[in-house]
Amino acid sequence: MNHASETTFDILGYLRRLGRHALVSALVGLLVAVGAFFWQHRTPSSYTAMSTLIFQPAKVTTEAEATQQGSNVQAQMRNYRQLVSTDAYLRPLATTLGDKPNVDALRTTLVPVWVPGSLLMTFAYTTTSEQQAITVANAAAEVFQQQMAGWTAGQEKAMGVQVTKSIPAAAPVTVTSPSIVKQGLMSLVAGAFVALLVAMVLDAVAGRRGRQPALPADAA
């Protein structure tokens, strides 16, 4: 029990000693918090542009063709969604864009969106440049239409889907800005941590000075 009391007393005493350096440590912590906030706030916004292709089934003339087409349409749309993630599509797209971005970058940043059962294909691209987001999204739709002819055999094309309308990306695009609340909380935590660290260092320095032995009178 005595040990517990002594431990509690030591902790309280240590906190009191840290409190002696509260002003200096608080000022340093405040400077760190403000600096961290503005450094994080420099993070650029992200822009997402989306271009969309609208498909419709090709015209058929007989009931048998209509029945066959019903099963072909969704299978073809599914294949298109898979093909836009391959080099067969990404390489021509990268070439059109002058390799800015290149194939590897497009593979991770260009997002083709197709909802099963629908006849829509959307190309979403996110970057820190509004104009580049629009350029890449529109190029993605254009290159897709150019590549379609080589992806389908004659019978599949006759029974499948065709692009009937292209909706290009244009401003305004979706803007994702950094979270000010999140940045503020992270800055406060960083400032508090630094303030505590400064107080501990100052206390350690003061304690070391206090423990230095006094020089003998005749040493002077």
Give dist(CA 111, CA 137) in Å, integer. Answer: 9
DSSP state of 117: T
Where do the structural domains in the chain lie, given as residue ranges? 2-43+179-211, 46-176
Give dist(CA 188, CA 165) in Å, integer. Answer: 51
Give dist(CA 84, CA 108) in Å, integer. Answer: 12
How many helices (H) and strands (E) the chain has is answered by 8, 5
Question: CB-based burial of residue 54 (10 Å sphere; 0-12 exposed, 13-18 middle, 19+ buried)?
Answer: middle
pLDDT tens across 107-164, in order?
Answer: 999 999 998 888 899 999 998 888 999 999 999 999 999 988 777 675 555 556 788 8
pTM of the model: 0.60
Instruction: Name which residue leads in pLDDT, 108 or 36.
Output: 108
Give Cβ neighbours of residue 112 (< 8 Å, ≥ 6 apart). 81, 84, 85, 121, 122, 123, 124, 140
Helix H or strand E segment including 163? strand 161-167
User: What is the CATH number that goes with domain 46-176?
Assistant: 3.30.70
Give dist(CA 48, CA 137) in Å, integer. Answer: 9
Question: Of 9-13, 49-53, 76-80, 161-165, which range is least confident?
Answer: 9-13
Instruction: Name which residue leads in pLDDT, 166 or 71.
Output: 166
pLDDT at 212 over 60: no
In single-letter form, the type of residue at position 211 comes to: R
Quick one: tokens of 123? 């190309």
Residue 98 region by backbone torsions, left for phi larger than 0, else alpha for psi between -120 and 50, else beta: left
Give dist(CA 117, CA 94) in Å, integer. Answer: 29
